[in-house]
Chain A
Amino acid sequence: MTKNPQLKSIVVRLAGDSGDGIQLMGSQFAVSTALSGSDFATFPDYPAEIRAPAGTTFGVSAYQINLGDDPITTPGDSPDVLVAFNPAALKVSLPMLHPGTLIIVNNDGFSARNLTKAGYDANPLDDDSLSEYTVVAADIGRLNLESVAEFGLSKSDGGQCKNFWALGLLFWMFDRSLDSAIGWLDRRLKNAPAMRDANVAALRAGHAYGETSELSAVEKVRVGEAQLEPGRYRSITGSEAMALGIAAAGELADRQVLFCSYPITPSSPLLHRLAKLGEHGVGTFQAEDEIAAVGAAIGASYGGMIGATSSSGPGIALKTEALGLAVSAELPLLVVNWQRGGPSTGLPTKTEQSDLYQAIYGRNGDTPIPVLAAASAGDCFDTAIEATRIALRHMTPVILLADGYLSNAAEPWRIPDLSDYAPIESHPVEASDSSDPQRLAFARDASSLGRAWVTPGMPDLVHRIGGLEKDLSSGHISYDPDNHQAMTDLRRKKLESVANFIPDQAMEFGDDKGDIVLVGWGSTRGPLYQAARRTGTSFIHIRYLNPLPKNLGELLSGFRSVVVAEMNDGQLSTVLRDKLGIQPTPLTKVTGQPFLISELVKAIEQERSKL
């Protein structure tokens, strides 16, 4: 890479111990990338343990970012620059590298002890095992400590600044201003001036090191500005966009939001972010368990607020009985599932599109629930609004599928104008001749089959709701056999009616007829889009998974082969077989790692060769 400093795009990977501050360093680099005008996509990849044993390969925390002037939609297949803080970080990253990758290592991290822990018999910096790469070994640990010596910090506090030292070096390489990182330190360490000053000093020292030392192997990298649509942009992660989207949904509906949640990886960042949006009419309730979280959210909806809850697959499993109650009682509810590797506890910090079956089929009884999926970090904003809109219109819980990758990954996001969004409406109680409030509470809108949102405290509308079957017209408890059939039909039709309100499925890329169409959903949009573009393959990405858009079947029938790519064992393939009666070809990956463009391209070419 050093021979070609003006690049279309470049992939940088930072790797170290989970205590090295890699994620922070990565997110600060992403912010400065955003401000420099490049397009980018990030992939934070960290272990399940908060501080896994230092120096081990399973304790490696990494942050990968792909930046460039071309539309960037994935964090990149193979790093062009690797910053490795210790031997373990080098070891786990090596298989991803290509000849010529620039490796910057922290020399001080390569102690005999750390080499042993990483399983190295000999120091790879001393033999020729890295000969196909360009290696720069800097004494980051020592140089950092020297740069912060004057602040009188303990050795361990001082040592913590080394991520900012390394960030300074990267800023030099990429010709970045230090302002965004210093601004962040000013805000974050307002109450710890010594730490703030030390980090700033480390940042400057790393930058100066690039400037003054003999880094002949490294040339400054210039990446052009991306051709983004005009507008105002910011960098955003999925959890940030989801939180803003939920708050915006409340605003569009003119209702307060009560978000009830129990901590679980990787869902908790949403709770943290919403907890700061109080002034936007959002309350957060940290419940005693997953069931209480969904229960309180249902109670809030019963009380007239927008009840929302969030979890990951195992937690959603616990909430399942209550989702059935919300379907039966016909209360609106937003349920966000940040999917992760399963089954059981599975891979808590790794990403997987694990829960499509659970979302669509996973309940007792015939209990249809609309399901949507967010396609990118920024898309979490729009999807949260859409999901809430459906919940209030049809008076139903709605499941929104996101995943661990979306929660943490950052991308540039064109800031939307809230006034472009239609208000979110629910159904008022209709004036009627009936004097039975029970009947009024279950009077339905003809097109959406959503009932009126009647809440305790409203005068003269005292009625009862619950999980027992109720009479189709009066809303009173009913054990009548024909009525149960009629109510089951009604719940199915209500779900089907959602399809009348959602947009037709559009092509994401390519012609609407041809040999092969690549089909995806959720967070894999980025790599699928790139693979489709590179292979000239038509591409469809589905946001509305239950019900499916009405034209989807017809659209897919324009292709000889439907290749469904997803990070699970073929769940959308099953759903398409079930709902549309087609025979898709599954293209699956369940490793806890996002799709690489290269492997998708290969699979598509293979499929093409078979036709």
Chain B
Amino acid sequence: MSSQLTAKDFASSQEIRWCPGCGDYAILKSMTKALADVGARPDNTAFVSGIGCAARFPYYVNTYGFHTIHGRAPAIATGLKLANPELDVWVVTGDGDALSIGGNHLIHTLRRNVGLKILLFNNEVYGLTKGQYSPTSRLGTRTPSSPDGSFDVPISAGQLALGCGGRFFARAIDTDKTGLAHVLEQAHAFDGSALTEIYQNCIVYNKDVYASFTDRKTAHDTQLHLRHGEPMLFGKDSERGIAFDNERYVLKIVDASTASDPILIHDETNEVIARLLIALDKPVALGVIYRNPAVAYETAFHAHHPSNMQRRRSVADVIAGPNSWQVE
């Protein structure tokens, strides 16, 4: 395993069963490449998933894989990570799996900061069950279960993550190789729970739901690619930027050359600005939006354990308890 592996080494021989043209293909490609680029080893990597289209992912990567049950992947992956903290454990989930049926596990995984790399494929629809609206579907989404348009207010993965104490939140678009590769590598390097929301195009049930900002022709104007320590600029010639509106406490778009307010410099550790960035819809913020390291749960778990999970004493030493007596 010493030689450098390539993306091909991380591709499994399984026949892929996603719909042709599904955004999942692009994510898979970026993932296998990222695994090779970060020097991951198949033997030491595990993908754990729940249920849904995204959850098929473990079959298609050449690593250890566990395709579990709906919503529970973070819980199962937590047990795996506690049992073997040396493993690289990835969780692949979708908007229904992570934010609806498995919402509780996501919340508690993030607040504990378990060292899992969680990829949330958000396509704003239930794919595998044939197109019902999901917890991230926008108001008015027409589906077989919401024929007159949905009226559930959608949930924001990013706001949820920060609200429950998550320490890493990033975003990318399925087909944006550069942006996706960057966040996957950053997630891999993060020591703790790294939640990455990937805008994924379900071409069958929710085609082009993100077209307003994923279209390459207009991407300059609709996407804000964040890098820590760099100014928040966008536009073809980086002619516009993001500034803080001191009166309304919101972000505003300003002309980079003439603005009186300073252009914000991206500080990944600033939770307040991160929340405003998550809420921004034009342009859409991408990249690592929030990263604020803290001790990972598995590290704390082992550190708080009296013998680092090792067996230091036999049960025979304590089985008699404080009071015992002899019967002759």
Contact = CB atoms under 8 A, between A and B. Distances in A.
Interface of A: 31, 34-35, 37, 180, 183-184, 187, 228-236, 240, 244, 247-248, 250-251, 256, 258, 260, 277-281, 283, 285, 287-289, 291-293, 295-305, 307, 321-322, 324-325, 329, 414-419, 455-468, 476-477
Give the most central of B1, B42, B76: most A CB within 10 Å.
B76
Interface of B: 1, 14, 42-46, 48, 58-59, 62-69, 72, 75-84, 86-87, 104-105, 107-108, 301, 305-307, 309-316, 318-328
A291 to B, nearest CB: 6
Given A322-B72, A456-B44, A466 B67 contact: yes
Contacts of B66: 299, 302, 329, 464-466
B105 A295 contact: yes
Nearest to A324: B69
B108 A288 contact: yes
Contacts of B311: 250-251, 256, 279-281
A232 B326 CA distance: 4
A244 to B, nearest CB: 6
Contacts of A462: 42-43, 62-64
B83 A232 contact: no
Nearest to B316: A418
A251 B80 contact: no
B325 A303 contact: no
A283 B80 contact: no
Nearest to A436: B13
B71 to A, nearest CB: 8
A610 B169 CA distance: 74
Contact of B79 (A230, A279, A295, A458): A295
A303 B314 CA distance: 23
B69 A322 contact: yes
A295 B75 contact: yes
A299 B79 contact: yes
B319 A415 contact: yes
B113 to A, nearest CB: 14
Given A232-B326, A283-B309, A307-B79, 10 more contacts: A187-B322, A278-B309, A280-B315, A292-B75, A296-B82, A299-B76, A417-B316, A456-B80, A457-B87, A466-B68
Given A295-B76, A303-B87, A415 B320 contact: yes
Given A281-B310, A329-B66, A299 B323 contact: no
Contacts of A321: 69
B327 A233 contact: yes
B83 A303 contact: yes
A456 B62 CA distance: 12
B301 A300 contact: no
B43 A458 contact: yes
B327 A303 contact: no
A303 B84 contact: yes
A234 B307 CA distance: 27
B323 A35 contact: yes
A289 to B, nearest CB: 6
Nearest to B312: A279
Contacts of B64: 456-457, 462-464
Contacts of B307: 278-279, 281
Contacts of A325: 68-69
Contacts of A468: 67
Contacts of A292: 72, 75, 78, 104-105, 108
B81 to A, nearest CB: 8
A291 B87 contact: no
B324 A234 contact: yes
A300 B78 CA distance: 8
12 contacts: A234-B324, A244-B315, A258-B82, A279-B313, A291-B105, A299-B76, A301-B79, A302-B79, A322-B72, A414-B327, A456-B45, A457-B86
Contact of A295 (B45, B72, B107, B323): B72
A435 to B, nearest CB: 12
A467 B43 CA distance: 22
Given A235-B323, A299-B78, A464 B69 contact: no
A460 B69 contact: no
A312 B137 CA distance: 37
A384 to B, nearest CB: 11
A288 B315 contact: no
Contacts, number: 218
The A contact surface, by secondary structure, is: mixed
B322 A247 contact: no
Contacts of B67: 464-468
A460 B43 contact: yes
Contact of B301 (A233, A279, A283, A324): A283
B326 A302 contact: no
Contacts of B320: 232, 234, 415
Contacts of A180: 323
A29 B314 CA distance: 29
Contacts of B48: 299
A114 B171 CA distance: 65
A546 B68 CA distance: 26
A179 to B, nearest CB: 10
B101 to A, nearest CB: 10
Contacts of B87: 303, 456-457
A273 to B, nearest CB: 11
Contacts of A302: 66, 76, 79-80, 83
A418 B311 CA distance: 15
A292 to B, nearest CB: 4
Nearest to B71: A291
Sorted nearest first, the 10 A-B pairs with minimum C-beta distance are A299-B79, A303-B83, A466-B67, A295-B75, A281-B311, A296-B79, A456-B64, A288-B108, A292-B75, A464-B65
B275 to A, nearest CB: 24
B315 A233 contact: no
A464 B44 contact: no
A459 B43 contact: yes
A455 B66 CA distance: 11
- Most chain-B Cβ atoms within 10 A of its Cβ — which of A34, A291, A416? A291
A322 to B, nearest CB: 6
Contact of A248 (B44, B315, B321): B315
A292 B63 CA distance: 24
Contacts of A303: 79-84, 87
Given A292-B72, A295-B75, A329-B66, A285 B316 contact: no
A329 to B, nearest CB: 7
B49 to A, nearest CB: 8
A419 B327 CA distance: 20
Contacts of B104: 288-289, 292
Contacts of B301: 283, 285
B74 to A, nearest CB: 8
Contact of B321 (A230, A236, A247): A236
Contacts of A419: 316
A279 B306 contact: yes
Contact of A278 (B58, B59, B72, B305): B305
A464 B59 contact: yes
Contact of B68 (A37, A260, A307, A467): A467
B84 A456 contact: yes
Nearest to B75: A295
A322 B325 CA distance: 44
Contacts of A228: 327
B62 to A, nearest CB: 6
A142 B194 CA distance: 62
A409 B197 CA distance: 51
A600 to B, nearest CB: 29
A464 B58 contact: yes
Contacts of A229: 327
Contact of B325 (A37, A247, A289, A459): A37
Contacts of B69: 321-322, 324-325, 467
B84 A304 contact: yes
Nearest to B302: A283
B309 A281 contact: yes
A183 B322 contact: yes
A250 B314 CA distance: 10
